């Protein structure tokens, strides 16, 4: 009942004044409650909409923050990877220069002839951007370079045998240990090592005892070779008529692991009592000592090694 209707009934005497006042108060109360209820509902609805919107935006922001924002986990990881790649490129560029800072003491390191000004010269395909810098330096400065020094030949023959079951990078890392262990590869001194001394070398330098014995046996055979051929150099280079074999491989997979020449050298060395001189090891040694130039013709080292072979 409205306020106007209540007053009209009171004037006609159909409704007592006290009842009229009660009805009017009740009507006003209901009206206020209705207004307040509507307002609260609107406020609650607005808050819920804002909360829902905020939640959705928050979800999107959190995902973006994790993957894209500066300082995020993914962004930091990307920066670390980029820094590592840049450092590796700098190392490879450094070891590809004309003169390496790696200390090869007793070995005569032959630098690049007319070094390529390109910091990333084209190399043999078995080298990749992830190749260890020490292996890159070995390729650029020693592999395929003719060696005529008896101590260096003995060293390369030992390292070629040592890398069987391992790899050249790991073997090159232990190169200085081998030099210390075997008296800078003085064959006459190594040949006189006793069993006790060999055992001490194996323990100190972590070289398998079988390989230590093999080196000592080979040293004894080298002493015999020097008596018969004057030098180890004359004996080994005699198999190729004292002139390096020059190959012209275009693809890495075409480079053989052994050849008829390495098989004939291996056969003769085994007959003389040498150890760790199978055809594959001998071919690896021939590549290392420059008896054969197996650099790909597209490699920046093919021409310099060929020139060294014709004009030692």
Annotated binding residues for Zn(2+), as ranges? 124, 139, 295, 299
Beta bridge partners of 245: 292
**Integer CA distances (angstroms), 252 to 143, 162, 285, in order:** 15, 23, 18
What span, in angstroms and rounded, lies between the C-alpha atoms of 208 and 206? 7
Binding-site entries = 124, 139, 295, 299
Task: Please choose, from the candidates 281, 279, 241, 244, the residue with its C-alpha nearest in 3D space to the C-alpha of residue 262.
Answer: 279
Instruction: Report the 3 state secondary structure along 222-286.
Output: HHHHHHHHCCHHHHHHHHHCCCCEECCCCCHHHCCCCCHHHHHHHHHHHHCCCCCCCHHHHHHHH
Instruction: Specify whether the CB–CB gap between 269 and 238 falls below 8 A.
Output: no
């Amino acid at each position: 009942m409205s306020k106007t209707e209540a007053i009209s009934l009171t004037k006609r005497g159909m409704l007592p004044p006290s009842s009229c006042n009660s009805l009017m108060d009740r009507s006003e109360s209901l009206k206020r409650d209705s207004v307040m209820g509507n307002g609260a509902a609107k406020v609650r609805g607005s808050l819920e909409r804002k909360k829902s919107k905020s939640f959705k935006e928050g979800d999107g922001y959190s995902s973006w923050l994790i993957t894209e924002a500066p300082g995020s986990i993914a962004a930091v990881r990307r920066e670390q990877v980029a820094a590592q790649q840049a450092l590796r490129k700098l190392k490879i560029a450094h070891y590809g220069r004309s003169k390496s800072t790696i200390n090869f003491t007793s070995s005569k390191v032959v630098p690049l002839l007319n070094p390529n000004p390109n910091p990333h010269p084209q190399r043999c395909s078995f080298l990749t951007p992830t190749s260890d810098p020490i292996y890159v330096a070995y390729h650029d400065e020693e592999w395929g370079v003719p060696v005529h020094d008896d101590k260096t030949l003995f060293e390369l023959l030992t390292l070629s045998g040592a890398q069987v079951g391992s790899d050249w990078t790991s073997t090159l890392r232990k190169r200085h240990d081998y030099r210390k262990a075997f008296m800078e590869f003085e064959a006459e001194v190594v040949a006189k090592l006793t069993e006790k001394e060999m055992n001490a070398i194996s323990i100190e330098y972590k070289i398998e005892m079988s390989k230590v014995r093999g080196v000592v046996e080979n040293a004894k055979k080298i002493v015999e070779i020097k008596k018969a051929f004057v030098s180890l150099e004359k004996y080994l280079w005699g198999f190729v008529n004292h002139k390096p074999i020059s190959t012209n491989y275009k693809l890495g997979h075409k480079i053989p692991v052994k050849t008829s020449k390495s098989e004939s050298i291996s056969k003769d060395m085994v007959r003389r009592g040498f150890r760790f001189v199978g055809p594959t090891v001998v071919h690896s040694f021939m590549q290392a000592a420059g008896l054969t130039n197996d650099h790909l013709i597209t490699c920046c080292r093919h021409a310099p090694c060929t020139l060294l072979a014709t004009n030692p």
